[in-house]
Amino acid sequence: MMNTTKKIMALLALTMLFAGITLAIESDGMHGSFEQAEALINAKATCSSLTDEQLELIGDYVMEQMHPGEAHEAMDAMMGGEGSERLRLVHINMARSYYCGDAQAMGTGMMYSGYGGNRVGMMGSAMMGQNYPAAGDSGYGMISQYGAYPGVQQGYSGMGSMMNGGSMMYGYSLWYPLLQLVYLALAALVFGAIFWWTYRLIAREKKRK
């Protein structure tokens, strides 16, 4: 009986350790990539100097601001999932459109369905913006509502306004570590409850014998 108890406790301890390590790695990875994107934005890096990998980071970061957490993960899954070429191109084109100001980047069928000259995005004006022929096929959406319209490198002014004064991106960078700590605490609580329940169950079995 003691051997069984020790095995169960050891298994639970290993499970908790593995879960904690996994969450920590995932948290560090996501936070690190977003920090890199913020650094590029703050440095006002020119689009001509950015690699596709850097554009992908910025595009992923932009999507996270409008649809954080699970909503972002669900959207990524709809577009092919992590590691897929389709999702990589979506993030790159998003950065080109909303950071570099390339009005055509998101209008090539990746995120939009066409209605003549007026393209309405899959995610609507809430995130990706809308393009109107009267505006010369330039759009407004996530970036323009903060004061910038697509144009050569004009997207930065919109993103810059989001980074300052307690804005969405700035606030996110402050609260993100706290949210991760909350997630880790909840995971520890759940595994702790499982451990305690198992311990009580074993103790009851001992008393019966």
**pLDDT tens string 128-148:** 443 333 333 333 334 433 333
**pLDDT tens string 28-86:** 445 557 788 888 888 888 888 999 999 999 988 888 887 887 888 888 888 888 888 99
Let me know: does 95 contact 150? Beta carbons within 8 Å: no
> What is the per-residue pLDDT for 89?
92
> What is the per-residue pLDDT for 66?
78
With a CB cutoff of 8 Å and minimum separation 6, the contacts of 124 are 130
Let me know: does 8 contact 200? Beta carbons within 8 Å: no
**Domains of the chain by residue range:** 2-208
Report the Cα–Cα distance between both ends of the chain, in Å, rounded.
10
Residue 103 pLDDT > 50, yes or no? yes
For residue 138, what are the CA distances in angstroms to 30, 92, 109, 196?
31, 18, 16, 59
Let me know: does 105 contact 96? Beta carbons within 8 Å: yes
> Which whole number is the average pLDDT over 160-174?
44
Question: Is the Cα torsion angle 115, 119, 123, 129 positive or negative in sign?
Answer: negative
